[in-house]
Structure 1
Amino acid sequence: MKLRDLLRGGKPKKPRIPPLGAPAARAWTSPSNTLRRLGPSPSILVVKLDHIGDFITALPAVKRLQAAFPTSTVSLLCAPFVADLARSTGLFAAVYGFDFFGARMQEPRFANADDVSELRAMGLPAHDIVIDLRQEDEARALLWGLDAKVRAGFGDPVNPFPLDIALPEMERCMRRKPWPAMTHSSTRLVLLVEALVHARDMGVETARFATASVPVGETQNSVILAPGTRLGIKGWTAEGWLGLASAVVERTNLDIAVIGRGEEAETAAQMAKLLPQGRLRDFVGQVDLADLPALIAPAAAFVGVDTGTTHLAASLGVPTVALFSGFADIRVWAPIGPATVVVHAGAGCAPCGLPSETLCPYQRRCMSVIDPEAVLSAMSGVAAHPELKRLRAVPQPELVFAAS
């Protein structure tokens, strides 16, 4: 259901899975990458339109926000009757008043299009980040009356407001069934701030593992391909892997290294027949899990599907291209790393969660539409190796590269 329909008071309907249509491979821009692009001092607007007690319980979250963004300007949009109290805290560069709930409103109402227009007419300055600390979503639509690059708040799956950073509405979830333990409202707000801060920081640091028994530089000047996956529905096509390996060898002086379990032996054997002698390094079935970090780390680049080895490569800081199917939610399970591009088709049926590729009514077009040229272009955009810069031989105008 579209936002404008929600603002008009309509009731959300169960979404219909649309036909896949003609998806195109493209790179996914994550909220984390958007946050990092804002720089070290993004302007922040805290939205807290409810009552006095609610404002007091939010103060620890505001202090945590300021500690995480020490050079940022933090402003507040609150109820007019809270404004003077808010100013007296000294926590905010500016305090704006907007009367939505009213001082003594007993039954909260939902924001509508008139409310959004009224807020927009106030002409508040644009902010990089707007974070709504109201725990339920009656006023969530008001965020679209504010000019912002990133919006954070609590979300309810029934009301699909397109927040960039969201936690589930804990109060509503806990009321549906008695819980043995409850989370204090102040703690919940701090958790939302932590979700925003972690989204900004995630993927910046690399993982470290103890040195394993793999010869140093075994995959240096190689592109590692990891075609295997526990769930076949996540896999890429054999033609894709072979075409990618062939193009890398033809266009660069880099070799191909293949990793995986025994199931990937056939793909490695096909590559061995296709590639010039000496250009393939076959590690399928030969490397223990504990040795993988040492094997992967020296590589010029890594290409894999949504699987553990791809997450490992991304966490190591290796230039990684992840080919993401429609099986899982990309917003939740995309690999994290400082030099990672996630290529996907944006399928309308994703995430499907289908346990087998045989159950897909679209013959897994979410993966088959990803061609080697899109992957080559992604590698050239994320990797620093001079050989990989030569891979962007065929322009890919639909791709906008962004590290996840």
Structure 2
Amino acid sequence: MSKTLLIYRLGSIGDTVVALPCFHAIARAFPRDRRIALTNIPVSGATSSLAEVLGGSGLIHGELAYPVGTRSPMALLRLRREILATGADRMVYLMPERSPLALRRDLLFLKTCGIDDAIGVSQETLRLRRLNERTGEVERECARLARSLTKLGPIDLGAPASWDLMLTPNEREIARKHLPEGPFLAINMGGKLASNDWGADKWTALLQMLSRRHPALGLVIVGGADDRERAECARLAWSGSTLNLCGKLSVRATAASLERAALFIGHDSGPMHLAAAVRVPLVALFGDNNPPKKWHPIGARQICLHDMCGVRRIAIDEVLASVEKLLLETVGSHCRVSRELCDLAAERSEHR
């Protein structure tokens, strides 16, 4: 490795996964560089860091802790010393939309750290999110990030390789040892924000319906340690085999376990983005926390149900219809799927 390249990206699992195509593009553009992520570690006690998502992938070779929100001169001086010690003179700017003042402040500080070249900030029109005035939908975050890196060449968001987490054989073996032998449905009921919560009552009703319709399917619940108690309650609604993996696996082993699922259902959360990255069919539930499309995944066999009046406004039958539609497409015609449910799912997906 000849030089060091900084990659400035804050956030947790979802923020990291939507930037995966960019991390792959950076690795292609700078294959010999030592790529160091400048990121917040940890994000919070209940969430996971960028390093937990990409560590071991080869897309980054290390990380520096960025003290989010600090105004402490001592903390900033310490960070400056750490950046200077890397010898980096260029960086890739993968931050969310920033005000001109905040952007200038970032670049000024990084300039004092020896960073002369900041890739991804040169053209404001490329860096800012686009709005479809006809539909009111905003551009997906992954698309905005990819446009900001046009200097590195085209980034194909539709290519499965762009979303490759580079899971290792060992991570897949860990997942295999934890998982049941037969087919299973994976769910995640957690998330950082209460406004993204569909509600325990709706989850219970949905799981009861699905377990009656698909007795051959097991249920695997993934998430963090804070989700474990709630997951134990959800298991009672499933008549077949169940497994609570909340807090038991690393982020990357969780992704490897989702890779083996027949289908995933979950809130707007980190595990949902992991499921999208490993290309498992999924139903994702979105509320009013973010505008439509912004954090929607990209890929085939994905249904995003998004209600700007709140996630709890999404009907149980609507989720059930979407699940049944995907199961019919992916598992086969032996699934008990009513034509009415499939028609409902098709109608709703056209308007999402």
Could you tell me the TM-score, scaled by structure 2's length? 0.50
Post-superposition CA distance 1:103-125 (Å, at most 9, x none) = xxxxxxxxxxxxxxxxxxxxxxx
Structure 2 residue matching 1:397: 3-state secondary structure? helix
Name the aligned partner's letter for residue 316 of structure 2. P
Per the alignment, residue 209 of structure 1 pairs with 167
Q: How does 1:230-269 map to 2 (within 5 A)?
A: 230-252=192-214, 253-269=216-232
Contact 2:221–2:244 (Cα < 8 Å) also in 1: yes
**Structure 1 unaligned runs (5+)?**
1-134, 138-153, 168-187, 348-364
Per the alignment, residue 119 of structure 2 pairs with none
- Closer/same/farther in 2, CA of residues 190 and 165 from structure 1, 3 Å limit: farther
Could you tell me the TM-score, scaled by structure 1's length? 0.44
2:224 corresponds to 1:279: no
Q: CA deviation at 1:309?
A: 0.9
Post-superposition CA distance 1:38-89 (Å, at most 9, x none) = xxxxxxxxxxxxxxxxxxxxxxxxxxxxxxxxxxxxxxxxxxxxxxxxxxxx
Q: CA deviation at 1:203?
A: 5.8
Structure 1 residue matching 2:294: 3-state secondary structure? helix
Which structure's CA Rg is the greater one? 1
2:321 corresponds to 1:373: no
Name the aligned partner's letter for residue 214 of structure 1. A
CA distance in 1, matches of 2:270, 2:351: 18
CA distance in 1, matches of 2:350, 2:177: 30
- Closer/same/farther in 2, CA of residues 403 and 338 from structure 1, 3 Å limit: farther
Q: CA deviation at 1:394?
A: 4.9
RMSD: 4.0
Structure 1 residue matching 2:219: 3-state secondary structure? strand
Structure 1 residue matching 2:167: 3-state secondary structure? coil
Aligned pair partner of 2:179 in 215, 218, 233: 218
CA distance in 2, matches of 1:377, 1:224: 17
Contact 1:204–1:337 (Cα < 8 Å) also in 2: no
Q: CA deviation at 1:161?
A: 5.8
Q: How does 1:108-123 map to 2 (within 5 A)?
A: none
**Structure 2 unaligned runs (5+)?**
1-122, 141-146
Per the alignment, residue 300 of structure 2 pairs with 338
Q: How does 1:53-68 map to 2 (within 5 A)?
A: none
- Closer/same/farther in 2, CA of residues 342 and 155 from structure 1, 3 Å limit: closer
Name the aligned partner's letter for residue 210 of structure 1. T
Aligned length: 212
Per the alignment, residue 256 of structure 2 pairs with 294
Q: How does 1:96-175 map to 2 (within 5 A)?
A: 160=133
Q: CA deviation at 1:217?
A: 8.1
CA distance in 2, matches of 1:270, 1:250: 18
Identity over aligned residues, as a percent?
20
- Closer/same/farther in 2, CA of residues 318 and 166 from structure 1, 3 Å limit: closer
Question: Relative contact order (alpha carbons < 8 A, sep ≥ 6): 1 or 2 greater?
Answer: 1
Aligned pair partner of 2:331 in 352, 377, 385: 385
- Bigger proportion of residues as helix: 2
Contact 1:321–1:378 (Cα < 8 Å) also in 2: yes
Contact 1:341–1:403 (Cα < 8 Å) also in 2: no
Per the alignment, residue 321 of structure 1 pairs with 283
Contact 1:228–1:264 (Cα < 8 Å) also in 2: yes
CA distance in 1, matches of 2:266, 2:320: 13
Structure 2 residue matching 1:333: 3-state secondary structure? coil
Post-superposition CA distance 1:220-265 (Å, at most 9, x none) = 4111010010111111111121112111110012111111123322
Contact 2:286–2:306 (Cα < 8 Å) also in 1: yes
Q: CA deviation at 1:332?
A: 2.1
Structure 2 residue matching 1:330: 3-state secondary structure? coil
Contact 1:337–1:403 (Cα < 8 Å) also in 2: no
CA distance in 2, matches of 1:262, 1:304: 16
Contact 2:186–2:220 (Cα < 8 Å) also in 1: yes
- Closer/same/farther in 2, CA of residues 382 and 280 from structure 1, 3 Å limit: same
Post-superposition CA distance 1:277-322 (Å, at most 9, x none) = x521111221121211221111110011111110110111101111
Structure 2 residue matching 1:265: 3-state secondary structure? helix
- Closer/same/farther in 2, CA of residues 217 and 267 from structure 1, 3 Å limit: closer
